[in-house]
Amino acid sequence: MPTRNTPWPHGTPCWTDYGASDVEAAKDFYGRLFGWEFADANPEYAGYLLATRNGEPAAGLSPLMSPADSPAWTTYFAADDARATAARIREAGGRIVVEPWDVAPLGTMVIALDTQANPFGLWQADQHIGARVYDEPGALAWAEAAVANPAAAQGFYSQVFGFTFRGQADADGAATFAIGGDPLGTLGALLPGSPKGWTVCFGMESVEDAVARVHAEGGRVTRAPEDTDHGSFAVLEDPWGASFSVRATPAGG
């Protein structure tokens, strides 16, 4: 089981959390799908829950901040300095929705929009580094974005995080992005069945089994399983309309 005990490098997708309209129902759905257990809600953090896999933090879950919001997953990128990164987001033409917020003693968070109004988060680690289990079933395994203007998005994220992009080798025309090392995810054009903006991707032993289970529990398949250079993927919606994807990732990473 791949685990991490130190802060993720700057710009790495390091955490994800879910805003739920029905917390108990979401716990049941995702707990059974990904094999998660949940820590008790802490009143100090507005009912925020940690979803764990084999005892290691894998994701977060909380009630929606506003009844007007829709259930959704948020992708967070590691930031060595959340305030400095927020300033770069503004300089690149993005917008800060939630100003740097010290969630003491866990870390500092920011919620932002890129130049195409796609939301994402920043996380500057303190006691909470983000995901401690990754790239295995039930854990964060990839990050992907589908946008209206890929060239503009590449320019924005390069300026903010220092991403480099490698061609458009995938069948769907998406470019991989990295920070000097292994690919961290893909960024490409909007395609049928792909939700706009960032989609969190979780590992699964069998993409086909995940599709069947989501469908059986009232969810929806928006992009059928397909093989890519980075493994078998499918894009799904949970019963409340929130998009996420799954990637074939054998147990043990």
pTM: 0.94
> Percentage of residues in the chain with pLDDT exceeding 70?
94
17-67: pLDDT as tens digits: 999 999 999 999 999 999 999 987 566 777 899 999 999 999 999 999 888
How is the chain split into domains, by residue range?
Answer: 13-125, 140-248
Average pLDDT value over all residues in the chain: 92
Pick the CATH number of 13-125 from 3.90.600.10, 3.10.180.10, 3.40.50.261, 1.25.40.10: 3.10.180.10
CA 130, 195, 181, 115 torsion: positive or negative? negative
Please state which CATH class domain 140-248 belongs to.
alpha beta
Check residue 46 and give its pLDDT: 76
**Beta-bridge mates of residue 237:** 220, 243
Check residue 230 and give its pLDDT: 66
What's at 239, amino acid-wise? Answer: P
Check residue 171 and give its pLDDT: 46
> Does 140-248 match 13-125 at the fold level?
yes
Q: 119-125 and 72-78: which strand pairing?
A: parallel
Q: How far apart are CA 250 and CA 253, in angstroms?
A: 6
> Percentage of residues in the chain with pLDDT exceeding 90?
79
